[in-house]
Structure 1
Amino acid sequence: MMAKQERSERTLERLVVAAAEQFAAQGFVRSSLAEVSSSAGVTKGALFFHFSTKDELADAVLARGQDVLETTVEELRETESVFLQVVVDVTHILNQLLRSNAFVRASVRITRERANNDPAPLDFYPLWLGRLWKLLEESRRNGELGRSVADASARTLVTAAVSGVETLTWMRVSHAETEKWLSNLWELVLPLLRADDTEWKVRAVAPLTGVAQFEDGC
């Protein structure tokens, strides 16, 4: 019984990884369940045992994208006490994940291509922007944001950073050039966001250590 359960879990893992790779490379619309099962090395019957539709499979990939985000934030928070610095670092790491992690790349394509009327909570944009906005709320409570900075304005700047990184990646701008663009953006806006009387320093450039750990886990 235990061996059967372990085989089922391995099959499930192969299917989710294969789906992420297919969705990231070909897009959600063009990918087929037959291609996913073939790439995973399992039968279509085994696929349908776990997922009855492509949408269910996409949801599983999006959930793994959420895991990547939460792991990223958690690991940054372990080494960084300034919430605004975590916001900056998350955008830099997103620049890398969009190129190196199939679950994150697939999450973008699923969100762009799936024809749902309303965005789902695990869609790329609501998920990543929502998590960053929560970090801004924590930054506000910690006294890191200037009193004259409206919450909506801070969210707008973060949204622009995420959207810019995702767009430049989509345009095949290099990682290095996108990193330079992002660093320049933060260098420009951080003095506008940061409280004048704060003693914390916030770095605009990418973190020097810890970036490799966020690379593709597929």
Structure 2
Amino acid sequence: MARQERSERTMERLVMAAADQFASQGFVKASLADVSRSAGVTKGALFFHFSTKDELADAVLARAQDVLETMVEELCEAEPIFLQVVVDLTHALNRLLRDDAFVMASVRITRERVNGRPAPLDFYPLWLSRLWRLLDHARRNGELGRSVADASARTMVTAAVSGVETLTWTRVSRKETEKWLSDLWELVLPLLRVEGTGRTVRTVAPLAHAPSLEERC
């Protein structure tokens, strides 16, 4: 048991170190030697757990998925309106791309790794598929206008994700990006949602501590 616990701790240090290295140096530039040195483990220990840099990158992408799913769960606990969750998740992305090493690393892995077709856990497929699923929930919940095509709603979400990631990549400040997002949602939400239902959707970033509700996504 003690050996297994040590092995798990070593793997955790390696994955965290890889996220930091990929986020700061990029997937191409960061080496396995950099990761092992940052984690404080030998190269032998690294290769025991991960035989290639791609395997290590996959582990980082899986952790980025955990971050996303945890965020979605928390937002769904706080909001019964799925369109609000979509808006809040794009604001959360603005924060995560600056504060969370796993999400930051997932962008650089996706941008720099040439592996043929995009993998499901790459940054864009992961985030877009999750947001599109929330739009499906919004459709079933009667939040999207009947004249709004599913493809149009997905295009809007894709534009929001791409815009946040691009603004972050070009070092636009978090505050400026938040304002851009709020203005974007202010413009397009009237085109997406059903009017006259009494359901208001906030376009600005959510408060840090929102009240918890029972409904989940």
Range of TM-score over shorter length:
over 0.9
| Counterpart AA for 2:107 | V
Structure 2 gap ranges (5+): 211-217
Structure 2 match to 1:129: 128
Structure 2 match to 1:114: 113
2: CA distance between counterparts of 1:101 and 1:184?
Answer: 25
**1:156 paired to 2:124:** no
Structure 1 match to 2:196: 197
Structure 1 match to 2:66: 67
Q: Quote the offset at 1:199 in angstroms.
A: 1.9
Q: Quote the offset at 1:198 in angstroms.
A: 2.2
Structure 1 gap ranges (5+): 212-218
Could you state the TM-score of these two structures normalised by the residue count of structure 1? 0.95
**1:32-71 counterparts in 2 under 5 A?**
32-71=31-70
Structure 1 match to 2:25: 26
**1:140 paired to 2:139:** yes
**1:15 paired to 2:10:** no
Q: Quote the offset at 1:117 in angstroms.
A: 1.1
- Please provide the CA RMSD for this pair: 0.9
Contact 1:27/1:109 (<8 A) preserved:
yes
Q: Quote the offset at 1:66 in angstroms.
A: 0.1
Q: Quote the offset at 1:49 in angstroms.
A: 0.3
| Counterpart AA for 2:145 | G
Q: Quote the offset at 1:210 in angstroms.
A: 3.8
Could you state the TM-score of these two structures normalised by the residue count of structure 2? 0.96
Q: Quote the offset at 1:197 in angstroms.
A: 3.4
Provide Cα deviations, 1:131-158, integer angstroms capped at 9, x if missing partner. Answer: 0000000000000000000000000000
**1:74-93 counterparts in 2 under 5 A?**
74-93=73-92
Provide Cα deviations, 1:145-173, integer angstroms capped at 9, x if missing partner. Answer: 00000000000000000000000000100
Contact 1:161/1:182 (<8 A) preserved:
yes
Structure 2 match to 1:215: none
2: CA distance between counterparts of 1:199 and 1:89?
Answer: 19
Provide Cα deviations, 1:11-54, integer angstroms capped at 9, x if missing partner. Answer: 00000000000000000000000000000000000000000000
2: CA distance between counterparts of 1:196 and 1:101?
Answer: 36
1: CA distance between counterparts of 2:88 and 2:33?
Answer: 38
Misfit runs of 4+, over 6 Å: none
1: CA distance between counterparts of 2:78 and 2:68?
Answer: 16
1: CA distance between counterparts of 2:89 and 2:209?
Answer: 12
Structure 1 match to 2:100: 101
Structure 1 match to 2:185: 186
Q: Quote the offset at 1:109 in angstroms.
A: 0.3
1: CA distance between counterparts of 2:17 and 2:131?
Answer: 29
| Counterpart AA for 1:189 | V
| Counterpart AA for 1:49 | F
Match of 2:24, SS state, is helix
**1:172 paired to 2:171:** yes
2: CA distance between counterparts of 1:24 and 1:145?
Answer: 36
